[in-house]
Structure 1
């Protein structure tokens, strides 16, 4: 980055603002669509396909997005990605009023996946570009928190606004915020990654190094359990157990509980990033929060009251959030700057495999095995992710818990 580059803190906050507002569209669909599927005659399997479609699209677009960032820079893909997500969110409005809603919902989720591939690849790359090693965990935590805070706002919007005013109104409001996000990015977010012409790269040029694969596999486990299982089944759990929040129906209640989960995640994303910078090592912090996620799913498996559900959702959110900042900071610590876009793209690919498989697996399994069994199995996932983390880092560095200077070396 050149000496004339903008202030790093200003850049980070600009990214946070943009991703926060566009994040509404990511969350608004979850409290609405699972229940809406029955009304519209959409099967549980097809609902799972629709909810997962964006992640499957990112499977083939994350790597090209990361390679493109290393080739042309961050600003153009970032602004374009936000604009595409805004159009996708408006697609929900068309879907809800269409004679073939499943087609429009699927197209909207596909478009959302394409846009978000560019947003995620650029947001973290921008942050890595402007941050130093000893503050990288904090900076990554701030950006991840900004991205994450938009999601619970969408969950609340989707649950409460749809409950009070209607599904179309909830989607229209989310689309308006998404459009505003792209305007903010266009006016404020600068270029940070490329200063001159770069040689052409292949779109399948992804990182296959031990650090990239290790971090990506941890991301796979987290997204499988968190987005793939919890978010896809919570509304159904509330309906089956007749549990409500503030008298709302299952859609509104699930939106509130998902918001608790994601708000806890956003808060502990900040805490996890700061803590890893303070400790001077990422691995111990990551293992502690992975264990917290495990306890959260174990609690969810036996929850029969709103109080236990709140505790379970809080623990799951705190665990996955606390992992977020240190995990992306660890990837940035171990990746060369000129390959940062590819590294982030690879990480996103594996995360989306997990998030995409989750609904496809969890929705049918809940019908066959029950909620308790599915959540108990999910509690084992973060433990396996912790094992992968320790083994991968040891293979690469020769240490179980390298300090930040050692990880950079």
Structure 2
């Protein structure tokens, strides 16, 4: 029986700094598209004749598409290279957003949201994989920047979406999203280098199962899910708490802005500390999630607008610490030839957290009150800190079981 040989891996790409910026813009686009439209649907549901059931379906369509398709498109980016998947996904996002120009009918809104979600499922994990391959030894630094822009999209999407709707209605918002997707697609086409697919061994089902259940994958993915779940809940419930304390609309929305700024400012710095060896992955992820848990408890149980703003800072800082460390750990512990599949599966974890966090808080709040809903979320976020992986393995050799070629 002959020995199994592995083709040589192409030399690493050494891009100019500007070649990464379209990838950050793609990360912002998917987050902004999800939250800007979702907030607008909730605010304008009565004016466009949506029942609560139809509203719930429209809100869920984007996330449902991402949950099912992100791992699929992540694997596709491993097969054909990430750039075509990014550009194609952004163009599809732009086209789907055009449907929303006629957003006065629930069926058209549903088609637009589903199309946007399917398109984001393509370019989001492919962008993450590209950041990982272009980062070299600075995965922490560049995932810090990527996470910073994506976090901004999540957190300020509702505010920008509301401003767009107030200025020109849903059609104006969808027009902005269409132009954004098209612009980032063109930018990516001309600025991001084409990363060729790498030689890949054939994996058995047992190999895929083992890779998906390793602590080096499950740990960071749970951390990302917990951080994103807390972000989703904070964006929805912190303004509600601020309004209960007597703050006006501007003061209530500003809580989310404070959270977004705190998270965005800290992420690149945390990534740089990691790259210099000054911050280890596990202590950083644990500290980040504990900060989120403390901030969530503070928001729920300490009365007063000042405490709500302090909670927003703690939650934002915690998310900003945990997120780049988790993504960088995933990138460094995954062979480059399957980065797309890994990032797609990790993004699936984030989507489940994004949906599950607000649902958990809302469900418990119905039965016991909002403070206890936030307390339940804080408990789960703190528990997720125990899943943080303790060691870091840089691009391990492939562990796939050799499969004889077909005759």
Return the TM-score normalized by structure 1. Answer: 0.82
* Residues 8 and 130, structure 1, Cα contact 8 Å, conserved in 2: no
* Residues 198 and 337, structure 2, Cα contact 8 Å, conserved in 1: no
Matched, 1:331 2:330: yes
Q: 1:311 to 1:38 in 2, by over 3 A?
A: farther
Quick one: distance in 2 between partners of 1:111 and 1:45? Answer: 20
Deviation at 1:209, TM superposition (A): 3.7
What's the secondary structure of 1:32's corresponding residue?
A: helix
Deviations 1:137-188 (A, max 9, x none): 1111112223333444533312334345545434433332232222212222
Q: 1:178 to 1:238 in 2, by over 3 A?
A: farther
Q: 1:259 to 1:274 in 2, by over 3 A?
A: same
Deviation at 1:33, TM superposition (A): 2.3
Q: In structure 2, what is the equivalent of residue 143 of structure 1?
A: 146
Deviation at 1:299, TM superposition (A): 1.8
Matched, 1:187 2:190: yes
Q: Which has the larger radius of gyration?
A: 2
Q: In structure 2, what is the equivalent of residue 275 of structure 1?
A: 273
Quick one: distance in 1 between partners of 2:329 and 2:273? Answer: 13
Matched, 1:106 2:110: yes
User: 5+ unaligned residues in a row in structure 1: which ranges?
Assistant: 248-252, 394-399
What's the secondary structure of 2:197's corresponding residue?
A: coil
Matched, 1:121 2:119: no
* Residues 289 and 381, structure 2, Cα contact 8 Å, conserved in 1: yes
User: 5+ unaligned residues in a row in structure 2: which ranges?
Assistant: 1-8, 398-407
What's the secondary structure of 2:247's corresponding residue?
A: coil
Alignment of 1:253-402 (within 5 A): 253-254=252-253, 256-278=254-276, 279=278, 281-302=280-301, 304-389=303-388, 393=389, 400=390, 402=391
What's the secondary structure of 2:39's corresponding residue?
A: coil
Deviation at 1:245, TM superposition (A): 4.2
Q: 1:259 to 1:90 in 2, by over 3 A?
A: farther
Q: CA RMSD in A?
A: 3.2
Quick one: distance in 1 between partners of 2:97 and 2:257? Answer: 19
Q: In structure 2, what is the equivalent of residue 396 of structure 1?
A: none
Alignment of 1:67-216 (within 5 A): 67-95=75-103, 97-98=104-105, 101=106, 103-133=107-137, 135-163=138-166, 166-194=169-197, 207-210=211-214, 211-216=216-221
- Residues paired across the two proteins, number: 385
Return the TM-score normalized by structure 2. Answer: 0.82
Q: 1:14 aligns with which of 9, 19, 22?
A: 22
Q: In structure 1, what is the equivalent of residue 400 of structure 2?
A: none
* Residues 24 and 151, structure 1, Cα contact 8 Å, conserved in 2: yes
Q: In structure 1, what is the equivalent of residue 6 of structure 2?
A: none
Deviation at 1:49, TM superposition (A): 3.8
**Structure 1, 148-157 or 207-216: larger mean CA deviation:** 148-157
Quick one: distance in 2 between partners of 1:50 and 1:362? Answer: 20
* Residues 54 and 112, structure 1, Cα contact 8 Å, conserved in 2: yes
Deviation at 1:18, TM superposition (A): 4.0
* Residues 270 and 322, structure 1, Cα contact 8 Å, conserved in 2: no
Deviation at 1:268, TM superposition (A): 1.8
* Residues 52 and 355, structure 1, Cα contact 8 Å, conserved in 2: no
**Structure 1, 348-357 or 66-75: larger mean CA deviation:** 348-357
